Amino acid sequence: MAGVDQGAVVDLLGVLAYAELTAFDRLAEDARLAPTLDGRAALARMAAAEVAHHDRLTARMRELGVEPAAAMAPFVAPLDAFHDGTRASTWLEGLVKAYVGDGLATDFYREVAAFLPQPDRTLVEEVLADTGHADFAVREVRAAMAADPAVAGRLALWARRLVGEALTQSQAVIAEHEDLAELIIAGTGDLAGVGQLLGRITTAHTARMGALGLST
Amino acid sequence: MAGVDQGAVVDLLGVLAYAELTAFDRLAEDARLAPTLDGRAALARMAAAEVAHHDRLTARMRELGVEPAAAMAPFVAPLDAFHDGTRASTWLEGLVKAYVGDGLATDFYREVAAFLPQPDRTLVEEVLADTGHADFAVREVRAAMAADPAVAGRLALWARRLVGEALTQSQAVIAEHEDLAELIIAGTGDLAGVGQLLGRITTAHTARMGALGLST
């Protein structure tokens, strides 16, 4: 791992730190859609956990002598574009977005983290740890589908739109960040390795859709 | 303090727990208006601290055998009405609202907390502790006014609107909660005591406006 460029490490910390801020933002927004005060408090609690993750990443950037705002800046436009293009309009859409969308992103970041040197590898793995959102989302979505099976079709379409938009934006991010692209290709070994990485991410995505009871 | 009705304690915990949720909400909303990523992260961090306070209050309600959602329910409409009626449209309005509006509310709750038995008195005092927002707001507002003195007049008008709306809603809350009204009257001694309490709150408000450099 000695050959990893610090530019790639900073890129990954930067994109993750901004992703945590937008996750905070989105969970806070979705909290307002909650049908109960308990659900609203549960989402607010998850949003708060994202802020703590954000703070750990920015503390590490400062340790590396990097200004967090500068490291995050290149990722503001693509991540905002993703969220603006997939703004949840119902409580259930918000939950599916958090579970399916964040699940995809987390899998991707975790694959990349495996190529990082320590202590950044462990730091990234820890901030990617689930904040309890997954179980909560699965429970709420399944309960809603049990009450009204027609919900399933709409949510499956919504999940497909999320995946499409996520692919578009992640390709844009990687295309503009050579260090990150090189890290992934060097880490996986070659293009076949990149294909296997995408295969693992797809398998995990299919499993999450299954957990929600949605077809891919 | 043995004579304090549990209804009044639960009312105060309920209104505060919902106030913390709405504070989270509003700080999260205002974070999006931040002109810099650092400012946005600072507000997100303060919002996260409000969630931690909310959790301490709901934990105490459960200890008392009270369902938090039920205790908060009567305060949802008046607090939402206050926030809907005073939605900040700029970063500076949001900061003034947080500093001036929350300052007023905090002073009022702290006065009422003084009449509570332990351990609730200490709990309420602790969750009312400033989360760093005050200094941050004063610094940002003063810097903006130094750059553009015309801002001061608009913000002073905004602060007056906040106070008017806060008085309207707090009167509505107290009118509908006899336990709370009795607690305040019994705690202050008589109507003259209530007058002195309001005098203390007004003095502190004037000091906050002065710290911002705004006229009352």
Quick: pLDDT tens for B148-163.
989 999 999 999 999 8
Residue A1 is predicted with a pLDDT of 45
Residue A152 is predicted with a pLDDT of 92
**Number of C-beta neighbours around residue A169 at 10 A:** 21
The answer to whether B188 and B196 are in contact (CB under 8 A) is yes
Question: Scanning the structure block, which residue is given the tokens 């002195």?
Answer: B196
Using omega within 30 degrees of 0 as the cis cutoff, is the peptide bond preceding B117 cis? no
Q: Contact A72/B37, CB-based, under 8 Å?
A: yes
**Domain harbouring B206, CATH code:** 1.20.1260.10
What does pLDDT average to over chain A?
Answer: 89
Q: Report the gap between the CA of A79 and the closest CA in chain B (Å).
A: 14
Question: Scanning the structure block, which residue is given the tokens 């913390």?
Answer: B20
A146 inside domain? yes
Residues of B in contact with A68 (CB under 8 A): 37-38, 41
Task: Convert the pLDDT of each residue in B49-103 to its tens digit.
Answer: 999 999 999 999 999 999 999 999 999 998 999 888 898 889 999 999 988 988 8
**Beta strand ranges found along A163-213 (DSSP E):** none
Q: Report the gap between the CA of A60 and the closest CA in chain B (Å).
A: 15
Residue B117 confidence (pLDDT) above 80: yes
Residue A187 is predicted with a pLDDT of 85
Task: List the single range of A43-57, A90-104, A169-183 with lowest mean pLDDT.
Answer: A169-183
Dihedral sign (CA A74, A77, A83, A86): negative
A68 inside domain? yes
Residue A46 confidence (pLDDT) above 60: yes
Residue B120 confidence (pLDDT) above 70: yes
Tell me, what DSSP letter sits at residue B101?
Answer: I
**Burial class (CB within 10 angstroms; exposed 0-12, middle 13-18, buried 19+) of A79:** buried
Q: What is the pTM of this model?
A: 0.84
**Number of C-beta neighbours around residue B111 at 10 A:** 18
Q: Assign residue A55 a region: left if phi > 0, alpha if psi is -120 to 50, beta otherwise?
A: alpha
Residue B197 confidence (pLDDT) above 80: yes
B1 inside domain? no
B163 inside domain? yes
B71 inside domain? yes
Q: Which two tokens stand for residue B120?
A: 């609730």
Residue A83 confidence (pLDDT) above 50: yes
- Which chain B residue has the Cα nearest residue A25? B28
Q: Which two tokens stand for residue B197?
A: 């309490």
| Residues belonging to chain A with any Cβ–Cβ distance to chain B shorter than 8 Å | 18, 21, 24-25, 28-29, 31-32, 36-38, 40-41, 44-45, 47-48, 51-52, 54-55, 58, 68-69, 72-73, 76
> Which of A21, A37, A58 has the most B C-beta neighbours within 10 Å, making it the best mutation to test the interface with B?
A37
Residue A20 is predicted with a pLDDT of 92
DSSP string, B181-207: HHHHHHHH-SHHHHHHHHHHHHHHHHH
Question: Scanning the structure block, which residue is given the tokens 């961090």?
Answer: B45
**What is the widest separation between alpha-carbon atoms in chain A?**
54
- What is d(CA A32, CA A23) in angstroms, rounded to the nearest whole number? 14
Instruction: List the one residue out of A56, A67, A70, A77 whose CA is nearest residue A128.
Output: A56
Share of chain B above pLDDT 90, in %: 46
- What is d(CA A190, CA A4) in angstroms, rounded to the nearest whole number? 16
Dihedral sign (CA A158, A162, A165, A171): negative
* Overall domain count for chain B: 1
Domain that holds residue B128: 6-212
Residue A93 is predicted with a pLDDT of 93
Average pLDDT, stretch A68-76?
Answer: 94
Residue B133 confidence (pLDDT) above 60: yes
Q: Is A24 helix (H, G, I), strand (E, B) or coil?
A: helix
Average pLDDT, stretch A148-172?
Answer: 89
Q: Contact A32/B25, CB-based, under 8 Å?
A: yes
Task: Convert the pLDDT of each residue in A27-45 to its tens digit.
Answer: 999 898 898 998 899 899 9
ipTM above 0.85, yes or no: no
Q: Which two tokens stand for residue A53?
A: 């993750």
Q: Contact A69/B31, CB-based, under 8 Å?
A: no
pLDDT band with cut points at 50, 70 and 90 for residue B3: low
A1 inside domain? no
Average pLDDT, stretch B115-132?
Answer: 88
Q: A186 Cβ partners below 8 Å, 6+ apart?
A: A3, A115
Average pLDDT, stretch A186-197?
Answer: 84
Residue A3 is predicted with a pLDDT of 61
- Cα B31 to Cα A23, B10, B43, B214: the distances in Å are 13, 31, 5, 23
Residue A2 confidence (pLDDT) above 50: no
Q: Report the gap between the CA of A193 and the closest CA in chain B (Å).
A: 36
- What is d(CA A56, CA B45) in angstroms, rounded to the nearest whole number? 12
What does pLDDT average to over chain B?
Answer: 89
**Burial class (CB within 10 angstroms; exposed 0-12, middle 13-18, buried 19+) of B96:** buried
In one-letter notation, the amino acid at residue A210 is: G
Nearest to B48 among A38, A48, A58 (CB): A48
A91 inside domain? yes
Inter-chain contacts counted by CB atoms under 8 A, chains A and B = 77
Q: Report the gap between the CA of B203 and the closest CA in chain A (Å).
A: 34
- What is d(CA B12, CA A216) in angstroms, rounded to the nearest whole number? 48
Q: Contact A25/B31, CB-based, under 8 Å?
A: yes
A159 inside domain? yes
